[in-house]
Amino acid sequence: MAGQRRTQRTSARRTAGFGLAVLVLASGCTTAHKPVDPTVDEIQQTLDARGEAVVEGDRTGYLAALDPGAAALRKQQGREFDNMADIPFDAWEYRIRGVRHQGARAVADTELRYRVDGYDSAPVTADRTLELTERDGRWYVTADEPGTGAPQQLWQQGDVRAVRGSRSLVLGVGQDDKRLRELAAAADRAVPAVMDAWPSKWVGRVVVLVPSSVESMGRLLGAPAAGYRGIAAVTTGETGRKDGTTADRVIVNPEAYGLLGDFGRGIVLTHETTHVATRADTSAATPMWLSEGFADWVAYRGTGRTAAETAPELRDAVSGGEVPVALPDDEGFAFGGDADALARAYEGGWLACEMVADRWGEDALREFYRTVGASEHREGAVERALGEVLGITADEFTARWQDYLRERLG
């Protein structure tokens, strides 16, 4: 079973223990968006050199940004640099959001932005809080921590092994090459299946992260691992990017994924790849039953599986006379709750999308998805799309869905 995409990032960062004056970056009252203090420019120069060293694979240059006296930091940062040696970065930069400084000490709140060459059409972003000290007119980093709520990066968990597929890049920690190659092959099969079901412009490639454990998966998501134990994979990314750019990551739970057979693994990766493909047309207006149901519709499309085989939990409920009174709400897709209820939510969303494709056609299902996602607000989005695309009301849609459940599962 695939997981929910809207994860909450709740990790904490270490804060500096000394008083600092606040240095605010340029606002509308300054010209050319220049910092109001040259300290920001000087710190930016240090961080720019650090970013260039990552892209160029220059370990010495990367460590040159660190305080020469910070032995523990230099050891830890050197290890992280070595861990990410297999990752083909083509961009790595820090954007300073604000600096608090007093004398020769400073704390910079930054946004790290990086891209993987050949796979990311937009940068991945991560908040970082850097502590710095000035020596002989130059600023050096003395601490590098996640910003408030920011998750870990994969290379902070160990040595990253990279396997390139024809349409995928699999990055793993604590995994053997055979498993990574198998994942790349499965992702390579998922991409064309998604392209056939969703013939819209998207990047056509997928980056898969495989941490060493479910606990490590939780750290990548900035959330407790307990909620992901039964979840085979999740996809992270920014919804609603109308420029078609993307930097999504499919994050695999090695424990739950490892329990699946070949068919189940294919379903999971096709489901998650669908989220990558539909990202630009998914927004806050898109209910979970539609985003998750559509991803399952793509994943099961053409497999020959019956509704009873695909939706066993809902089948048991419907055959027992318990037909749902409404489409699943977003809360029904929450992690960490009743596993059977979660399964019924996914199955109900899938059968709603299956019904649209069956009764109105696949093109109508795709148009319905896009129309809902194009709405600015959740309220009324589904109702308007039902009227515009399918020509029915929400009550009529629910009634037809209930009849469809009885027909396919009863």
Q: What is the structure's pLDDT at 6?
A: 36
Tally of domains in the chain: 2
* Measured CA angle at 96 (ends 93, 98), to 5 deg: 165
| pTM, 2 dp | 0.87
| φ, ψ for residue 160, nearest 5 deg | -90, 125
- Asked, for residue 90, whether it belongs to a domain, the answer is yes
The parent domain of residue 314 ranges over 283-410
The pLDDT confidence band at residue 9, using thresholds 50, 70 and 90, is very low
Q: Which amino acid is at 231?
A: I
Give pLDDT tens digits for 172-213: 999 999 999 999 999 999 999 999 999 988 989 999 999 999
In a domain, 75, yes or no: yes
Q: Is 158 domain-assigned?
A: no
Domain final residue pick, 152, 176, 196: 152
CATH number at residue 144: 3.10.450.50
- Per-residue confidence (pLDDT) for residue 109, from 0 to 100: 96
Q: At what angle do helices 288-300 and 339-359 cross, to 10 degrees?
A: 70
* pLDDT band at 410; cut points 50, 70, 90: confident
Q: Which of 102, 118, 152 is the last residue of a domain?
A: 152
Q: What is the CA radius of gyration of the chain?
A: 24
- The pLDDT of residue 335 is 78
Domain boundary among 152, 174, 203: 152
Count of CA atoms in the C-beta half-sphere (13 A) of 214: 14
Work out the percent of the chain whose per-residue pLDDT is above 70: 89
